[in-house]
Structure formats: C-alpha cells, structure tokens
Amino acid sequence: MESTPFTDKPTLRGELVTLRPIRAEDADEINAIIRADDEIALLTGSVHSSTEKFPGASIERLRDIYGAWAVADDRLVLAVMDNTTDELVGEVVLHEWDEGNESCGFRTLIGAAGRGRGLGTEATRLIVEHGLTKMGMHRITLEVYDFNPRARHVYEKVGFMHEGTGREALRLDDEWIDVHFMAILAH
C-alpha cells in the first residue's frame, strides 16, 4: 500500500496548545465534550433543531472510530491539549486527501473549555502550517455555517479566504442557513 501524507502522526507544540495523535481512549473525553455542549451539535450542522440532542454513536462505537483514526492513512486527527491544564479540549482534522490536486479538507471541534482563549486559533494555525509545509499540501478547504462567525473569524485570522456560498444548505429550526466555503493556499 502506498503511503499518503497522513501516514505520519506528528505531535505539534505551540505556546497555548499541543496537538498530539488521537487515541481510541480519547473517544471518552471527546464524547463528554460533545454531550456537555449543545452548541457543538448546532455549529457542526449535526442537528436540525436547536433543541435536538447530538445524535452520536455509542461510546463503544466511538472508541472503535477513534482507534481506527489513530492509525488511518486517509486522515490526520490530532487531539488539542491545553498546555496550561493538560486537558483535552478538542480535535483538529485534515481529511479527504486529493492526491492529484495536493489538497485536503479541514475540520475542528473545540469544546467550551477551550474557547475564548486563542486555543482554537493556535490549533488551527499549527495543523494548517503543518499541512502546507511539512505535508506539501497546495490547498486546504473547509466549510463554515453562516451562524458561526466566531469560527469564520478564526479561519480568516489563520489565512483562509472566502471562496463562495452554498445557499440554504442546512435547515435549522425551520430556517435555511447558508454554508461558506473557504480555502487557504500554500503560497
């Protein structure tokens, strides 16, 4: 089997956060973060009502998923560790590798304990810089819903540019929400 840019699972250290390879046992903490914070289900477009609970998998299934992601060659999933508390506060992911175009997608999940202190911005910057420099990506893309200006601001600070809008892409509380497509290039 050919190796992909995702075969290497690095640890990336910043001033505020350390990104380390995800492990199966991290599923317990990620599940707790998601279950304790209804905003995550909304911001990820996982629900269609602001009163709906996150429809996640069983903890056993989540452990299997995270265990597989820990060794997967089709994605890089790194746990976001708060350097002050050594607490897992979320994850950052590069995925959907397009070899011919040297590009991939990006997504992140930061729980309430990691918000408002620059942790998400630094985690995004660390993994994006790693993708563009060490992994040789030309382009990294993401999607962000219209009702999440906080995330869009982070992405713009890191260097992502708005490329277009998917009109009425998500139905939430009987309203249609636009999704914005953003990307960052190596140059």
Looking at residue 41, what is its pLDDT?
74
3-state class (DSSP) for residue 122: helix
Looking at residue 36, what is its pLDDT?
86
Domain assignment of residue 173, given as a range: 12-185
Give the global pTM: 0.92
3-state class (DSSP) for residue 69: helix
Looking at residue 44, what is its pLDDT?
78
- Confidence band, pLDDT 50/70/90 cuts, at residue 58: confident
Torsion of CA 116, 20, 83, 108, to 10 degrees: 0
- Confidence band, pLDDT 50/70/90 cuts, at residue 3: low
CA torsion through residues 105, 186, 133, 118, sign:
negative
Looking at residue 30, what is its pLDDT?
93
- Number of structural domains found in the chain: 1
The verdict on residue 2 lying in a domain is no
Q: Range with the lowest mean pLDDT among 43-57, 120-134, 170-184? A: 43-57
Closest CA to 96 of 79, 77, 78, 74: 74
34 or 163: which carries more pLDDT confidence?
A: 163
Mean pLDDT of 134-160: 96
The verdict on residue 69 lying in a domain is yes
Angle of the 119-129 helix axis to the 149-158 helix axis, nearest 10: 40
* CATH number, domain with residue 25: 3.40.630.30
